[in-house]
Structure 1
Amino acid sequence: MLRQLNIENLAVVRRQQVRFGPGLTIVTGETGAGKSLVVDALALVVGGRATSDIIRAGETRAAVEALFDCPDHPEVRRILAEAELEAEDTLLIRREVALNGKGRLFINDQLCPVATVRALRPFLVDIHGQGDQQTLIFPAAHAGVLDAFGQHVELATATAEAFAAWHAAQQARERFEQEALHRRQRRDLLEFQRGDIERVAPADGEDEHLCRERTRLLHAERLLAAAAAGYDLLYEREASALTLVAQALRQVEDLAAADPALSEVLSTLEAARYGIEEAAFALRDYAETVVVSPERLREVESRLDDLDRLKRKYGGTLEQVLATLARIQAELAQVENDDAEQQRLAAAVEAAAARYRECALALRAARQAAAPRFEQALEHELPFLALPQARLVVAFDWRDAGAVATWESTGLEGVEFLFTSNPGEPPRPLSRVASGGELSRLMLAVKSILAPTDIPRTMVFDEVDVGISGRVAEAVGIRLRRLAERQQVLCITHQAQVARFGTTHLRVEKTVRHERTHTEIVALDMDARVEELARLLGGAVVTESARQAAREMLAPEGFVGAPTSQANC
């Protein structure tokens, strides 16, 4: 139950504190005074959309704070535990919105994500805003109403999830079949390309090695002659470099014995002798490896031509050619595995379809069982709302469970409410025959039979009396009062016939002070209630006869429990 609502800098409200008690709280006021601000503030604090344009002009932030009794419910305890909050007797929720659009939300002074309070909202508040009754004219919403009444929303959700899984499995199979067809169409080309590359059998880096070999073969005779000449000059001939260095070394050895200063020169000559000898032997060994072979040159050039052809067709380098071969081999392997994968995907589709049929058939049975109970519950409610002869029938559009083309996420049947308010007239689609006033009362009846008795939450009705007046409005007021015996009810109304049944009466007043508009919410005592009901009855000029009528309406006779003021602002 809502205990208190604090509003700061929201639209035209500067700062306001409103306390609430049990029973039916009525909110009235002139058109444009800002009655819906109470609903807007409550919706904001329980996770509604927040934008910077709700902030009062000239201020930097807006804030709404609501104090609720904490429902003793396992799901509430679970939500609080996941948010690392302790379950206390009350929940203090504060929502702040800044000019830059950013905001913060606190639960019992602990910063929390908005998702937490949105999860708590069904256990705290049920807001029926202006125009919500229009949802009844859309048959697509009727299944959800019936599921909520039958308390099988989880089954409806499971059906929707099973449908989504089946649809996803269908799409996966269709995508795979298209890809498999494309692969089958490409198979001949892929096999040709694989054979073309495999016949050449290139090795990574082979072209670079062959290019170096071709260069040696092209210059083999010159290389051989140069190596032989170098070997001869360094080692072989009588006056070779090695012989001359050896002679110089002997001369320096004799001198170094007399003058140690030549020891460094001696070391240099010794190193030169070993270096010349090593270079000479290297040239000799190299000459032995040089092959003059026109036949090998032709083989190398032919191999390079083959490799260049592959590079032109399958990539600029042999590395790319080999990568193309690997991709082709993988795609061909996939073609070979397509049958097995297709069978697996078909099995997945069938399993998902079986799951959907299971859920949808269970949902069908639940809806069939709930429909007569729903009709009976409404039949009991409608006379209280001045619709004694009205009847609402749940009509089903059955679909074949085996015809997958007719499957929908909402189940295997369409649900539509048929309505008649005139005896002897057959029920017809609600969207075609119900008036605005009838829709308002039907929505109130639906909300009444959907209201859980195990969760004492706050039910909010924003102008549920649209399109009605007189005796019908009084019937709505009586029903709201009776509903308030089980739930805390907050109702915004323009009808005195509804307002008279409030256990608490709040009036929203708009004033202009210092060239600024201010909206205030005032709790009315009995005298003030008389004046407010007289205004609702008589208009701008309140007459004594209107006051007398208001006093008679507020007298305890005619409804259970005399209204008393329980709000302090």
Structure 2
Amino acid sequence: MLVHLSISNFAIIKKLEFSLKSGLNILSGETGAGKTIIINAMNLILGGRAFADLIRSGCKEASVEALFEFPENRSLTEMLSQFGFSFKDELLIKRSIFREGRNKILINGSMATLQMLSRVGAILISISGQHEHQLLLKQDNHLYLLDNFGGLSDERLNLNELFNAYKLLKDEINHLKKDITETGERQDLTQFQMQEIEKADIIPGEDVRVAEEKRRLRHSKELLEIVTEGYQRLYERNDSVLSSIAQCIKSVDKGAGIDPGLGPIKESLAEIEIKLEDASFALRDYEKTVHMDPNRLEELEERFELLNGLKRKYGPTLKDVLKYKNKLASMMYDLDEKKGKLDKLERECQDLETDLISRAAALSRKRQKAAGGLEKAVEKELKDLHMAETKFKVKFDQWHDEQGELKDVKVEEVKLDGLDQVEFMISPNIGEDLRPLARIASGGELSRIMLALKTILARSGATAEIIGEKLSSLAAYHQILCITHLPQIASQGQNHFLVSKEVVKGRTQTIISGLEPEERVREIARLLGGKEITPRAVAHAREMLGK
């Protein structure tokens, strides 16, 4: 409920604040005192439009601050949490408007947008008057009013959660399908590349060894000539290097017999002889390994080109090619995994679709039943409000046949709030067809229909006295702030405030004061008799307040 309201520099209000209680709170006062201005200021808390000319003359800004206390309210709790506002039992809303057109909105001390304020305010306060019937004029609200009457709001909220879960799952499935399709489009190429690399049967470092062997085979004739000539020069010929060294060693050995100083030279020559002999034998052995094999050379050329082709396509080295093959294998594995996940999610989605359709259909049937009860209840209340001839009907959309039975339902037909779109229809007079409420009802009719609905909804909760009794009945369930000039209504209130004007330093300003019991008697008497308060009016006022 609204606990405290503070208004500053708004129209003719300089500074006004008052605390409210539960039940029916009455605001009365002379015409032009500023009662409507207070409601207009409260409308800012609902997210209503703000105009610079609402700011008190000579001031740069106007502000409205409202403190609410509220019990458990699932819709409000979820909305505040969604917007990221912290709260505990109390909600403080402040809105300031500036001459240059700016707005500043705070919800529990945190900055908020006008859209956020509108959504929160719509839950906290409902303003009813001959010209403010947004709840009834907007067809979107009719379904929520029906659900409130039928006690179906929690069921609708549960369906909202299920619907959102379904949408998230569908989004995940669609994203996965798109991913699989895109990967699948590359699948043929991926498989081709995988097979190409696997068929090559690559061994790391193989390209280096192939290049070396290919080079040897390509120059095998030249190599054979080189090693053959080398072997012959070292060993085979009569004048070979080894023969010459052997003669030299023999001569030096003879000289060493004369001069021992030649001994080390002889030893060096002997070592050279051994090394040359080893080299000649190595050349001879190497000669045996050199083959001129055109077929092998062709094989190596092809292998070399294959390896180089793979390196050009998939990496500068064979190691990179093998890494790329592993990447392709991972992609193929991921594709299989995604297909498996898709199958699982689609099974879950099918179960969720069945549940969603079942719950939506069940809720729709309950709404059909509740609609009949609401129609009777509204017509009964309107009869008390001197609209006895009015017919009220809840019209359902195309998902129901002429008998009101639910047609076959497809999941695509289920929306956030279920299958139904409803619209309130009325026929105010005998012989008139039922037509949409928003299009044909007058302001007064809308006021009384709204009053009837609120009374009914609070319970599932034409005279001014009856309206007052209705308001008093409604106040047992809701806090009400009512502006009235009618004593029959004012006398029904639990709390009564007097709105008046005074002139201070040449400026008019609105003030508000809570009335004590005797003050209230005099105000009711004023409402009964006008400016002149007679003893008879006072007695009548006491009688009205004593009922």
Q: TM-score, normalised by structure 2?
A: 0.62
Is the aligned partner of 1:523 residue 2:521?
no
Aligned to 1:459: none
Is the aligned partner of 1:409 residue 2:416?
yes
Paired with 2:415 and 2:55, the residues of 1 have a C-alpha distance of: 43
1:504 pairs, out of 480, 489, 496, with 496
TM alignment of 1:265-276, pairs within 5 A: none
1:53-78 residue CA offsets vs partner (Å, 9 max, x unmatched): 9998877996736375x75x6989x9
Is the aligned partner of 1:561 residue 2:545?
yes
* Contact map agreement 1:147 1:153 (CA 8 A) in 2: yes
* Contact map agreement 1:105 1:113 (CA 8 A) in 2: yes
TM alignment of 1:45-194, pairs within 5 A: 64=65, 66=67, 68=69, 93=92, 125-128=124-127, 133-177=133-177, 180=180, 186-194=186-194
Instruction: Give the match's secondary structure for 1:389.
Output: coil
TM alignment of 1:291-440, pairs within 5 A: 302-315=302-315, 318=318, 321-333=321-333, 340-397=340-397, 398=400, 399-440=406-447
* Contact map agreement 1:27 1:35 (CA 8 A) in 2: no
Paired with 2:542 and 2:215, the residues of 1 have a C-alpha distance of: 117
Q: Tell which deviates more after alignment, 152-161 or 402-411.
A: 402-411
2:479 pairs, out of 485, 488, 507, with 488
* Contact map agreement 1:400 1:412 (CA 8 A) in 2: no
1:26-81 residue CA offsets vs partner (Å, 9 max, x unmatched): 2666389732354247658xxx999999998877996736375x75x6989x999x
Deviation at 1:297, TM superposition (A): 8.4
* Contact map agreement 1:364 1:412 (CA 8 A) in 2: yes
* Contact map agreement 1:387 1:421 (CA 8 A) in 2: yes
* Contact map agreement 2:11 2:37 (CA 8 A) in 1: no
1:147-178 residue CA offsets vs partner (Å, 9 max, x unmatched): 11122211112223323333444454455455
Paired with 2:526 and 2:211, the residues of 1 have a C-alpha distance of: 104
Aligned to 2:260: none
Q: Which amino acid aligns with 2:482?
A: C
The count of residues paired between Structure 1 and Structure 2 equals 465
Q: Which amino acid aligns with 1:445?
A: A
Q: Percent identical across equivalent pairs?
A: 27
Q: Which amino acid aligns with 2:474?
A: L
Aligned to 1:241: none
Paired with 1:336 and 1:443, the residues of 2 have a C-alpha distance of: 60
* Contact map agreement 1:166 1:352 (CA 8 A) in 2: yes
Aligned to 2:38: 35
Instruction: Give the match's secondary structure for 1:411.
Output: coil
Aligned to 2:265: none
* Contact map agreement 2:136 2:450 (CA 8 A) in 1: yes
Q: Which amino acid aligns with 2:65?
A: V
* Contact map agreement 2:396 2:423 (CA 8 A) in 1: yes
Paired with 2:92 and 2:321, the residues of 1 have a C-alpha distance of: 66
Instruction: Give the match's secondary structure for 1:145.
Output: helix
Paired with 2:201 and 2:534, the residues of 1 have a C-alpha distance of: 103
Gaps of 5+ in 1: 229-235, 239-282, 455-470, 535-544, 564-569
Gaps of 5+ in 2: 231-241, 246-278, 401-405
Deviation at 1:142, TM superposition (A): 1.7
Q: What is the RMSD computed on CA atoms of the aligned residues?
A: 5.9
* Contact map agreement 2:173 2:342 (CA 8 A) in 1: yes
1:212-261 residue CA offsets vs partner (Å, 9 max, x unmatched): 99899999999x99xx9xxxxxxx9x9xxxxxxxxxxxxxxxxxxxxxxx
Change over 3 Å in CA distance of 1:402–1:479 after alignment to 2: closer
Aligned to 2:267: none
1:292-330 residue CA offsets vs partner (Å, 9 max, x unmatched): 888798776654432332243345565654454334334
Paired with 1:403 and 1:84, the residues of 2 have a C-alpha distance of: 40
* Contact map agreement 1:386 1:475 (CA 8 A) in 2: no
Is the aligned partner of 1:26 residue 2:27?
yes
Q: Which amino acid aligns with 2:42?
A: V
Q: Which amino acid aligns with 1:480?
A: L
Q: Which amino acid aligns with 2:531?
A: R
* Contact map agreement 1:33 1:508 (CA 8 A) in 2: no
Q: Which amino acid aligns with 1:490?
A: L
* Contact map agreement 1:7 1:41 (CA 8 A) in 2: no
Paired with 1:4 and 1:409, the residues of 2 have a C-alpha distance of: 36
Aligned to 2:270: none
Paired with 1:550 and 1:437, the residues of 2 have a C-alpha distance of: 32
Change over 3 Å in CA distance of 1:315–1:431 after alignment to 2: farther
